[in-house]
Structure 1
Amino acid sequence: MKFFTKKRVVLFLLFIFPLICFLLLSTGTNNFTKLPIITKDVIDVSEIDETNQFKLIDHVSVICFLGNDVDKNKAGLFNLNEKIYKEFTKNKKFQIIAVLPKGKESDAQKLKKELGAFTDMKNWHFLAASKNNIESFYASFSIDEPLTDLSSSKAFLIDKGLNLRGRIGDEENIFGYDMNSVAELKNKLKDDIKVVYYEYYAAFKEKNENKADRKI
């Protein structure tokens, strides 16, 4: 029993155990639970963006709807910024798009300035669109929870293929993530984004392995 000294246990937890976990993940292909697709073929924001600056295709996107009262979801956006944006801003093709009605651009700029005080806003986008376009875009999510004054307290996860992602199970169904709940953002949305990125990693790894097998 002398082998299991306190020092060796600490070393195991710090170095060996993480290495074992990594090897298990790297050697298995698709041996993980994929995040369910809630709705396929969501409208790309490029169809409602008159500035031609933004698109969802080939991006991992978090979408939120600010509505006519931009400050209503201010606290939720700060939560989203701290728990999600700062975590993934260095990931390839990650972005957050806040959709708001035309005429509210000045309010959005004030909010963007506040968020940008301690944040690099390069992947934080604010998109102004008409009422009809916002409603059409949201309707393409095909979820039974209408916008309130063009606003929602939920953030929505869209993958690179324009699919709305979430959770479907016996215990819970999540079509959007509550921005006012730090726990939900940190423990669910954060984990779900990681799963989506790992799906792309696993698919890329499998594709390369298949190419190597064909060459052999």
Structure 2
Amino acid sequence: MKKGFVLVVLFVFPLVAYLFFASGVNNFGRLPVLTQNIADLERFGTEVNLEGKITILGFLGNEIELKKGNAFNLNQKIYKRFGKFKDFQMVMIVPKGNGNEEKVESLKIELGALSDIEKWFFVFVETSEIKSFFQHLKTDKTLDENLSTPYVFIIDKELNLRGRTDDEDEGVKYGFNTTSVADLNNKMEDDVKIILAEYRLALKKNNADRSK
């Protein structure tokens, strides 16, 4: 193989990979911040943290058995694609009691049969605290009577909720509907690509600045 061809491949492949990774409706821009300074989770007595991670945040509620389909959609369409990234995680908020600990264990077994669920985390929280925490996200979504929502939210490393300000269907888009494979495939996947690419570029820039 000629040296010139090797050099072209070495240059072109990373460029193509980046373009593929960062492609989406946002055209290489930053994913807008919709809510700043989300509270972290340490007040709930958990070792799971949002800060320093790119988090997909969800609220499963009390009827977990009815939300398995949502979890499977999220696992297949988002987690399997992005779970390999070092700072990526899935965090599900679950009400304490009502047998929910056992229900979550059952869900984890079923999810584990489909993929490695090392970065799936379930945080058990008192009912009143779930309502307060959700309200602080300042979205246009609501929790139902079981403290669940089919929507999940992207939280960045600095504890900001990210989304869209010019979505063609919703205008301001705070979350992604896990009952809709189209929403996960056509919108959420693009937005997760954008935010991961954003942090990758920032890391490369910081490394370059330190090497000067």
TM-score bucket (shorter structure): 0.7 to 0.9
Find the partner of 1:161 among 152, 158, 162: 158
- The aligned residue for residue 109 of structure 2 is 113
Contact 1:45/1:137 (<8 A) preserved: no
**Any idea what SS the aligned residue of 1:200 has?**
helix
- The aligned residue for residue 48 of structure 2 is 54
Structure of higher CA gyration radius: 1
CA RMSD of aligned residues (A): 2.3
**Any idea what SS the aligned residue of 1:122 has?**
coil
Instruction: After superposition, give the CA deviation of every residue in 1:35-93 in whole Å (9 maximum; x if it has no partner).
Output: 00110001112222x2x320100001101101111122221110000011111111011
- 1:74 maps to 2:68: yes
- The aligned residue for residue 183 of structure 2 is 184
TM-score calculated relative to the size of structure 2:
0.83
Per the TM alignment, residue 190 of structure 1 is displaced from its structure 2 partner at its CA by 1.4
In structure 2, relative to structure 1, the CA distance for the partners of 1:173 and 1:115 (3 Å cut) is same
- The aligned residue for residue 152 of structure 1 is 149
Per the TM alignment, residue 24 of structure 1 is displaced from its structure 2 partner at its CA by 8.4
Letter paired with 2:81: E
Per the TM alignment, residue 187 of structure 1 is displaced from its structure 2 partner at its CA by 1.8
Letter paired with 2:140: D
Count of matched residue positions in the alignment of Structure 1 and Structure 2: 192
Letter paired with 1:143: T
Instruction: After superposition, give the CA deviation of every residue in 1:13-48 in whole Å (9 maximum; x if it has no partner).
Output: xx89x64953986xxxxx831100110001112222
- The aligned residue for residue 88 of structure 1 is 82
In structure 2, relative to structure 1, the CA distance for the partners of 1:179 and 1:24 (3 Å cut) is closer
Distance of 1:24 and 1:121 partners within structure 2: 26
In structure 2, relative to structure 1, the CA distance for the partners of 1:211 and 1:76 (3 Å cut) is same
